[in-house]
Amino acid sequence: MWLRVSFDLVFDIEIPTPFILMLRPRSGAQQWVARESYKIEPNIQAYEYTDAFGNLCQRVIAPSGLFSIQTEAEIKTATYVDEAPDAPFVEIQNLPDTVLSYLLPSRFCESDRFSDLANAITANALPGYNQVVAIESWLCNTISYIPGSSDYAISAIEVNNKQCGVCRDLAHLGIALCRSLSIPARLVVGYLHNLEPMDMHAWFEAFVGGRWYIFDATQSGKKGGYVSIGYGRDAADVPLFNQYGPAVYPIKHLVKVEQIAKEN
């Protein structure tokens, strides 16, 4: 399916403020960017680099006054998420080198403390894809998904204590559980078609059966429409924006995702 996604972000800046933005989707194995625009006002010098995860990041210094960023893209992505029941657990010795870092605990995914819970949740599941499905179901049934319920990122331990959270929180707990079973897992931030209420979204991917699969405990069914902007070990690695100096907050933050017709 083809989606037109857009993000409109405005700040009112008091003193010149360095930003690192991560707002540019890339073409990759799961999506194709056919058209993309990225407008910064006022028109300041921006510099782009690629981080260690392959994400495109933009460095700017926002001057005082209104500072706005408008990004828009037309992207082809899958209508349904790939499924692979019974896809096997990948033995550690067979994991690609580049996947190994997704086994390590990280800021918001303290996988070193979730071994017992993960084993309990997946006790009856075949090692691999089915374990992740069990984790996803458990999240869905146990942790209340309350969009907008958290202002800042909390960790998997905190999510598990609160038993509720935003999309990012459910994903963090899912990742921590996967990694504690030696299944590589990573956070993805991006857009999702028909998300309610519409906003930026976060989900997770797990590496089983030799590739990454999408999991999202906040959605039912296996509908697709996912557009990724950034990949990382957790939310610490994939901020839509990091801003340094006195805190500033968006005065506008508008996300849109609509399906479009393409002649092909």
Task: Enumerate binding residues for a copy of itself (CB under 8 A).
Answer: 18, 20, 26-29, 32-43, 45-52, 54, 56-59, 61, 74, 76, 91-93, 97, 100-101, 103-107, 109-110, 112, 152-153, 182, 236-237, 242, 244-245, 262-264
Query: In the bound complex, what is the minimum distance in angstroms from residue 170's beta carbon to a copy of itself?
Result: 19
Q: Which is nearer to a copy of itself, 40 or 257 (CB)?
A: 40
Nearer to a copy of itself, 184 or 225 (CB): 184
Alpha carbons 169 and 20: distance in angstroms, whole number? 23
Task: Show Cβ contacts of residue 58 under 8 Å, excluding neighbours closer than 6 positions.
Answer: 19, 20, 21, 22, 23, 24, 38, 46, 47, 48
Nearer to a copy of itself, 109 or 195 (CB): 109
In whole angstroms, how close is the CB of 52 to a copy of itself at the nearest point?
5
State the minimum distance, in angstroms, from the CB of residue 76 to a copy of itself: 8
The least CB distance from residue 89 to a copy of itself, in Å, is: 11
Q: Which of the 8 DSSP states describes residue 160? A: H
Distance CA 188, CA 229 (A): 7
Nearer to a copy of itself, 50 or 137 (CB): 50
Cβ burial 220-247 (10 Å sphere, 16+ → b, else e): eeeebbbbbbbbbbbbebbbbbebeeee
Residue whose CB is less far from a copy of itself, 62 or 143: 62
Minimum distance from residue 43 beta carbon to a copy of itself (Å): 3
Contact 58, 23 (CB under 8 A): yes
Q: Which residues of 18-30 are buried (b: 16+ CB within 10 A; e: fewer)?
A: ebebbbbbbeeeb
Structure tokens at 97: 């080198």
